[in-house]
Chain A
Amino acid sequence: MKILVGYKRVVDYNVRIQVKPDGTGVVTDGVKLSANPFDDIALEEALRLREKGVAEEVIVVGIGPADLTAHLRNGLAMGANRAIHVVAAEAVQPLTAARILLKLVEKEQPGLVIVGKQAIDDDANQTGQMLAALWDRPQATFASKVEIADGIAKVTREVDAGLEVIEAELPAVITTDLRLNEPRFIKLPDIMKAKAKPIDTIELATLNVESNNHLQTTHYAAPPKRSKGIMVKDAAELVAALKQKGLL
């Protein structure tokens, strides 16, 4: 089977982002961009399933501007067979992303779609679930273990109460949690090989995806700052300070 992997480019997780003083957005010019960490985990899992013989082909999908190609080459260097670049000038909301992925699912007929549980820029945690709904297929979100046999994915999910195990008939959508795996590093010869791998470019407008403008972001603000704290010199002083606040 084929595995489709959502592969979003985001501001690198180590960057301390700044809100623009006029409240129109966050500063992204000149800021380091990387693959969404959860998507690296999604790609790693797809590659491992290919290495186990569960899948034959791994396709990375990116939605974004023309310069997204370099990011998709990273996914190819990590080991994906090919990439699909849906060219969109503006950032798309999760529902639109899910509708785009559904078009690609209809075209490619994958046995599995793996996406990160959330992108670390919008922190929405929606796209995988929305795709599963539109596709009318199972979803296994927040996966920390995936076993596939006889057309069924047995997935361990990280839920608030502990670990939940579910079975999903394929095709299905899996979203990845941090503990699913440790993504591999990209080696130099693989970067060279990736240059020869195909990237299909599709203009968003040609996919006839229903547009969705149900949500408008009207303002960006920095979070309120906590007031400066105090340092105490020993345990007794700490206990006294907490008792004074009525906390102990």
Chain B
Amino acid sequence: MSKILVIAEHLNGKLNPSTARAISAALAVKPETIDVLVLADNTDAIAAEAAKINGVSTVLTIARTENAHPLAAVLAPQIAKAAIGYSHVFAPSTTFGKDVAPRVAALLGVAQVSDVMSVESSHTFKRPIYAGNAIITVEADTNHTVVATIRTASWPAATNGAGNAPVQALSLDVALPSHTRFVELQQGKSDRPDLQSAGKVVSGGRGVGSKENFEIIYKFADKIGAAVGASRAAVDAGYVPNELQVGQTGKIIAPELYMAIGISGAIQHLTGIKDAGTIVAINKDAEAPIFEIADIGLVGDLFKLIPELEQALT
């Protein structure tokens, strides 16, 4: 039987929703146990949140001052040691999971399955390659621990509320390196919904034209309660900060509604939104590739159409 250790992602004392998505993938393996591992300087609040998620057997905590920031070089040796006895180690395929999981896999001497989009059996998974243009089925050796990152856009968050898992402090004797040090996190401040977990996302591209013009996107997003995203072109042009980028090299998202405004639809962008429920494209170029995958398309000038949309909503 499988025993799965899920690595919790958190920031500012709060559990990241990506953790509950990784737990969904763990549930799909139908394991005997799913334990969640929380590494932080203060684990209490995070562990309490994780304990409520349905399906979690035990929340394991490692509270050390060295774990105050998610440095892979510091976390990986602890995770590798905690992983002994588990058949699987799962982490979300976010920048956190992508940074730390391969380091854990290498310490365990095993290969890693990146971006698991479906679980076929305990050791068989599907994952995308070539920017999502091919889906491969991979079989992991049953004699080794499976280390995998879970593609968050492919999994709903595990439900929460009914769970009441015990929290247990782990004490591991692991020497930690001091060769890597955290300096600072420059965080984009936003009251809008989180891009990766939002039900609706409004994205702007190069067609928006300037940083000032992007206000029209923010305003419209706020009107419909959506998160704001952007294409790489808009980020590179300096219209918006990089953490808003959607695509192969940015965030991969699966909202119920995705509205691409002034985005032509380069293959790398489409990779980030392929699993969205409904894709709406607004573009003045009727030949733009975005219309090939849009469920609803509207050709026209965004500066004329967005005010009209706002009007139609009231």
> Which A positions have Cβ atoms within 8 angstroms of B?
11, 13, 16-17, 19, 26, 93-95, 98, 120-134, 136-142, 144, 154, 157-169, 172, 177-179, 212-223, 226-227, 229-242, 245, 247-248
Contact = CB atoms under 8 A, between A and B. Distances in A.
A134 B140 contact: no
A230 B185 contact: no
B72 interface: yes
Contacts of A237: 298
Given A230-B297, A245-B278, A139 B103 contact: yes
Contacts of B274: 223, 226
A213 B109 CA distance: 11
A172 B196 CA distance: 31
Contact of A125 (B98, B140, B291): B98
B256 interface: yes
Given A130-B106, A166-B182, A227-B295, 7 more contacts: A125-B98, A130-B112, A131-B106, A162-B188, A166-B180, A168-B181, A179-B242
A161 to B, nearest CB: 5
A165 B187 CA distance: 11
Contacts of A216: 138-139
A144 B242 contact: yes
Contacts of B45: none
A150 B69 CA distance: 24
Nearest to B300: A234
Dominant secondary structure of chain B at its interface with chain A: mixed
Contact of A229 (B104, B132, B291): B291
Contacts of B114: 123-126
A216 B308 CA distance: 53
B105 A126 contact: yes
10 contacts: A11-B130, A126-B112, A138-B73, A139-B99, A144-B242, A159-B243, A160-B251, A163-B243, A165-B186, A240-B312
Contacts of B35: none
Nearest to A98: B106
A232 B296 contact: yes
A17 B124 CA distance: 24
A140 to B, nearest CB: 8
B147 to A, nearest CB: 10
A90 B268 CA distance: 27
Which of A19, A129, A233, A239 has the most C-beta atoms of chain B within 10 angstroms of its own C-beta?
A129
B216 interface: no
Range of interface residues on B (Cβ < 8 Å): 35 or more
A129 B106 contact: yes
Contacts of B130: 11, 17, 26, 120-121, 123
B210 interface: no
A245 B276 CA distance: 14
A215 B111 contact: yes
B95 A122 contact: no
A237 B282 CA distance: 13
Which of B112, B184, B279, B294 has the most C-beta atoms of chain A within 10 angstroms of its own C-beta?
B112
Nearest to A227: B295
Interface string B88-128: 00000011101111111111011111110000000010001
A127 B106 CA distance: 9
Interface in B125-169: 128-141, 144
Contacts of A218: 124, 137-139
Contact of B185 (A17, A138, A154, A162): A162
B311 interface: yes
Contacts of A235: 298, 305, 308-309, 311-312
B313 A239 contact: yes
A123 B129 contact: yes
A213 B305 CA distance: 54
Nearest to B282: A238
Which 4 pairs of residues, A with B, have the shortest CB-CB distance? Answer: A235-B308, A129-B102, A133-B106, A130-B106
B82 interface: no
Interface string B159-199: 00000000000000000010111111111100000001000
Given A133-B107, A137-B179, A168-B179, A229 B184 contact: no
Given A159-B96, A160-B96, A166-B71, A226 B293 contact: yes
Given A139-B103, A235-B309, A247-B200, A167 B183 contact: yes
B232 interface: yes
B270 to A, nearest CB: 10
B73 A132 contact: yes
B128 A223 contact: yes
B213 interface: no
Contact of B298 (A178, A215, A231): A231
Contacts of A166: 71, 180-183
Nearest to B186: A163
